[in-house]
Chain A
Amino acid sequence: MAIPTTASAGTDTMPRLLARNVAEFGDKSAYREKEFGIWQSWTWSEAAAEIETLALGLLTLGVKEGDHIAIIGRNRPYLYWSMVAAQKCGAVPVPLYQDAVAEEIAYVLDHCSARFVVAQDQEQVDKVIEVMDQLPGLEHMVYLDPRGLRKYDHSHLSRFDEIQARGRDQGDPAELKRRQDAQGYDDTCVMLYTSGTTGRPKGVVLSNRNIIETSKNSAEFDHLEPGDEILAYLPMAWVGDFIFSIGQAYWTGFCVNCPESPETMHTDLREIGPTYYFAPPRVFETQLTQVMIRMEDAGRFKQWMFRHFMDHAKKVGPDILDGKSVSFGDRLKYKLGDLLVYGPLKNTLGFSRVRVGYTAGEAIGPEIFDFYRSLGINLKQLYGQTEASVFITQQPDGEVRSDTVGVPSPGVELKIAENGEVFYRSPGVFVRYFKNDESTASTKDSEGWVATGDAGFIEEDSGHLRIIDRAKDVGKMADGALFAPKYVENKLKFFPNILEAVVFGNGREKCTAFINIDLTAVGNWAERNNIAYSSYQELAGHPKVLEIIQGHVEDVNQSVAEDPMLAGCQVHRFLVLHKQLDADDGELTRTQKVRRRIIEEKFDDLITALYDGSTEQYTETEVTYEDGRKGKIKATLEIRDAKTVAVEAKTLEAAE
């Protein structure tokens, strides 16, 4: 089964790719979903039939060409079909984050003037109904899971299968065909809203060309095949999921597996054993933390075996993976380790069959990265953006390192501006921001170069890109030394006990930090050391925990001091926050990135205390509970000084 290497007339839209897949791999599984304890599966032919009836049903609702259809829910085949069905109708699918609160949904639905919404369940339907009065343009909602919705007013609400039945009975196949034929390579494929690290989310318009060219290039780069399997568990509103689960899946014809529920994701991962896998660093970190915690509870012999073979894997594993020469004895020992330790461990993690694994979004700790690679998992890094249809740079097999993000992806050109900001140009570059020409113009210049907002440099000998920080976050300290908070935060976060860190110091004499402890790791430590605690807050304020964190901060200071450019970023004072930073409270984005400015405003009193020399500070913080109610947490936080290494810090001017 050969895959064509260029997009021809038959492969220039998603519905046409679907038709090609039906012709070429009609009987092969296209989608699987675990439901009622069993993996239900649909072949490409079956999926195409489902999509067809749904599209016909959408036509009967009055979907017009160019309409926006919002899709809200977790990864389910039906919702992926909704996206392609929308495309068949000439409409544009707009997937939304399922954990978005009602106001966020209202903003997006209003901004794209969506007339139709496909929602997963009562929870999502309720959120839309809550903001319905702000959305005069919204006409009809389609829902998947009927539970709890039976008694709702159905004048503007229909069940998914009812719409399909309606399409089957009353649909107009000729009109659907006409609309499908009218679509071309430069028509809009999807619109994705950025998570909005700063300000309001922006609607990124991506054309068929953007998605298909990118999918094709990246699929060839990693030799993806029709026999590959992926697990679709990342938010559908995220560009990566659209590229993996629709773009590349349709281009190569591989199978998309949807977990039973977000909580069962790890079990489902093991059962499927994907061959192509993506996870943000946080997922790998959590898994490694869990492995380590469980190893500490294991018997002495198992612990010894684990340590012994993991040491060997760390020594030779990455080299074997990269195909470098390794002595016969070492190879043999690695084989034995694979039999006894690595193999079973990979199986437990669900990584037995991973051929290509990626991580991106944030820097991954070198220890974490090396751990997975030494097990023989081909984990690589990529660097991407919604505006680029994901891929800007990625690491080729055999050239994988934890401190770079790889070489430019096929078809991508890179340039570094004078202030260090990275620019790129590629076939995947977005068309425009929806209804926001101003932002489009400030992001993409007339020659098609797009600003990433990240500062970095290209390594001379290897050609790999290295990212230091967000360009706008890179600042200067009062004495002119370089201030790169993310660089320090990442080093802090590499400790399993630290979940999140926020470093301050722009324009100031010294750097200080907020720390969030990782409840799993620290909680386990507390249990083993008989330290009682009743809440997150109590554990976070425990003097022994503060001591451990202080040790970590001082280790980081030592390592930061080794880089003369960044030595000024050593953390002089820190505190451990009494609450976990949370997207519901606006402190993180929905993709779990720190919103620096909001945190600075919200915890203004704590920052003042960090700089005025006080040893403790009383604070009250407003929190939002899961059901939307608000409450207050009160705490008195201890502020500690950390040892720093005296280095003559170089200023930015001196370095230039």
Chain B
Amino acid sequence: MNDMSGGNYTTADGRKIGNTLMEMKNITLRFGGVVAIKDISFDIHEGEIRAIIGPNGAGKSSMLNVVSGFYNPQEGEVWFRGKKRPPMKPYQVAQQGIARTFQNIALFEGMSVLDNIMTGRLTHMKSGMFAQALWLGKAEREETQNREVVEKIIDFLEIQTIRKTPVGRLPYGLKKRVELARALAAEPKLLLLDEPMAGMNVEEKEDMSRFILDVNDEFGTTIALIEHDMGVVMDLSDRVVVMDYGKKIGDGTPDEVRNNQEVIDAYLGVAHD
């Protein structure tokens, strides 16, 4: 068995896991008197699929929002690519190469699938508003290049049929896929998925799992995901952080976590005295 805590190993199916990409050090997040996250530390290695799980209200989404820079924790440090990250605006985080999807889909309902995904390329567009409005040479070239990237993602996620369909007309499962496409369009270093399988049926879950694995495999994207479907998490992830009541109660491979008594108690319930 490889030592997984330090990174730099190869998984059983041949994927290379690199150094630490992101490290959370002693994060504490409070909303007034409510402590949402209490002194949590964990790291994410390059190329791995890292899951954050826990019962409802455990603080998973808050944790993801700290990673994505939406919340600034009162205590603790976020280290990204070897540097300590100062408090940032969400767009600055996006520029650093972090993209995300949302628990309640956040797409532009009236725009076509293609246009929605194109918005994901925003951080890669350099030409100014003036050049774009006048369709100057550089702007046109840039649009073509970006469209090419987007088309490859459309092909990858097999959504060619709905390319020109307004998002509002799509069923839920496909919207989730479009959201993933938009996040991918940013060509992120780190992809954050907030409950990618919520509300899906078995078939849609299987599809989504395959796409997540394929994204990780083909583009080498590091993925951090929140999910409370245990079966899916255990099959997908390399390492899992388990949270309960804002605290970390487990961290390790799916097997380790599965056999952790505290985790079992959190999920199956235990009498609190």
Contact = CB atoms under 8 A, between A and B. Distances in A.
A37 interface: yes
Contact of A261 (B13, B152, B156, B158): B158
A261 B231 CA distance: 32
Contact of A151 (B158, B163, B217): B217
B158 A147 contact: no
A35 interface: yes
A37 B13 contact: no
Interface in B140-168: 147-148, 151-152, 154-156, 158, 160-161, 163
A584 to B, nearest CB: 15
Contact of A36 (B155, B158, B161, B214): B155
A148 B156 CA distance: 11
A147 B161 contact: no
B273 interface: no
Nearest to B155: A36
B217 A263 contact: no
A122 to B, nearest CB: 10
Interface in B174-232: 214, 217-218
Contacts of A38: 151
Interface residues of B, number: 17
B21 to A, nearest CB: 22
B14 interface: yes
Contacts of B151: 36-38
A150 to B, nearest CB: 7
A260 B161 CA distance: 9
A538 B192 CA distance: 41
A264 B217 contact: no
Contacts, number: 33
Contact of A264 (B147, B161, B218): B161
Contacts of B163: 37
Contact of A37 (B154, B158, B218): B154
Chain B interface mostly: helix
B57 to A, nearest CB: 33
Q: Give the size range of A's interface with the partner.
A: 10 to 19
Interface centre among B15, B154, B160, B163 (most CB of A within 10 A): B160
Given A35-B155, A36-B151, A147 B160 contact: no
Given A36-B148, A36-B152, A37-B151, A148 B217 contact: yes
Given A263-B160, A264-B160, A147 B152 contact: no
Contact of A263 (B13, B161, B218): B161
A260 B217 contact: no
B137 to A, nearest CB: 20
B156 to A, nearest CB: 7
B174 to A, nearest CB: 12
Interface centre among A37, A38, A260, A264 (most CB of B within 10 A): A37
Contacts of A264: 160-161
Interface centre among B13, B155, B158, B214 (most CB of A within 10 A): B155
Contact of A260 (B15, B160, B218): B160
A150 B217 contact: yes
A147 B218 contact: yes
Given A36-B152, A264-B161, A147 B13 contact: no
Contacts of A147: 156, 214, 218
A147 B217 CA distance: 9
Nearest to B148: A36
Interface centre among A36, A147, A151, A267 (most CB of B within 10 A): A36
Interface of B: 13-15, 147-148, 151-152, 154-156, 158, 160-161, 163, 214, 217-218
8 contacts: A36-B151, A36-B152, A147-B156, A148-B214, A150-B217, A151-B14, A261-B161, A264-B161
Given A147-B156, A148-B218, A267-B161, 6 more contacts: A36-B154, A37-B151, A37-B160, A147-B214, A151-B14, A261-B160
Interface of A: 35-38, 147-148, 150-151, 260-261, 263-264, 267
Give 4 closest A-B pairs by Cβ, nearest first: A36-B151, A263-B161, A151-B14, A37-B151
